Amino acid sequence: MADCYSLINTIQCLEKAYIKDAVTSKEYTAACSKLLTQYKAAFKQIDKEFGTAEHFLKKYRFECRAALDRIKEDRPITIKDDKGNTHACIAEIVSTFITISDRLKLGMKSMDELLPDLRELNETMGRLTMLPPSYEGSKRVKAWIDKMSNMSASDELDEGEIRQMTYDMETSLNEFNKILLEM
């Protein structure tokens, strides 16, 4: 029971860390998958006594809603959309690339106008497990996120940076389309 308790608590803490962006999607996915596997093995030792994780948590008055959701779904939240909604994920990636390019063409160049879309794009690409590790677009998007994360909301990209970012987004989208055609 102590093992189950500690694993549930660890899953809960990992969920909170992911929500707060304290761990990357890859770190979260790997850790969550491992913890869920360990939890299943540990819970098999006590499942006859408690039946479900919910009953276990209720008996010991342990509130871990996020962990319970992960246990019920039996997968990290980062791969949720990749299972049945691969097409939706692909559409979201293409749409976000286009949105970022359009924002740049419309003269939007401040951090607060561009960074949210870059983060959304990065997260969606992280959920799409069919992307090969060699895909350079992921690295380019991450590099722009890192650069803009160090800026204040009103800071703006200069003309050279805008031109480079536009090029990076268009190149990354073209590479993404080639990957789709090869599948």
pLDDT digits (tens, 9 = 90+) for 54-82: 777 788 787 888 888 888 887 888 775 44
Please check the confidence at residue 83 and state whether its pLDDT lies above 60: no
- pLDDT at position 80 is 54
Mean pLDDT (the chain) is 87
**Of 87-91, 108-112, 134-138, which range is least confident?**
87-91
Task: Note whether 58 and 51 are within 8 A (CB).
Answer: no
Residue where the block lists tokens 């913890």: 35
The predicted model scores a pTM of 0.55
Which whole-number Å values give the CA distances from 158 to 41, 42, 165, in the listed order?
A: 54, 55, 11
Task: Note whether 114 and 120 are within 8 A (CB).
Answer: no
**Of 17-21, 62-66, 77-81, 90-94, which range is least confident?**
77-81
Radius of gyration of the chain (CA): 20
